[in-house]
Amino acid sequence: MKTTVSIRGQVSIPTELRKKFHIEPDSQVEWIAEGNAIKLIPLPKDPIQAFRGAGRGRYTSDKLIKDRRKERLEEDARDRKP
């Protein structure tokens, strides 16, 4: 999609993208320059609420405990070596 930059440096975000990414009046976006490209990242109004549930099912407390035990055993083994 193409848009035109106004004399004042303003750009209109196409309707399809505003709807898809829930960009409404007073929404904030972040501009990121990466090499020769510019990224426009829509920021959620409530970042805490937007993040809620993002880790669900990926890392359980049981997995955390198992990983920590494994790390401790590896550290103990390293400490015992002369």
Cα 7 to Cα 19: distance, rounded to the nearest angstrom: 26
Stretches where the chain sits below pLDDT 70 are 46-59, 82
The whole-number pLDDT of residue 82 equals: 65
What is residue 52's predicted lDDT score, i.e. its pLDDT?
A: 63
pTM above threshold 0.75: no
Contact at 8 Å (CB) between 30 and 41?
yes
**C-alpha 72, offset from chain centre:** 31
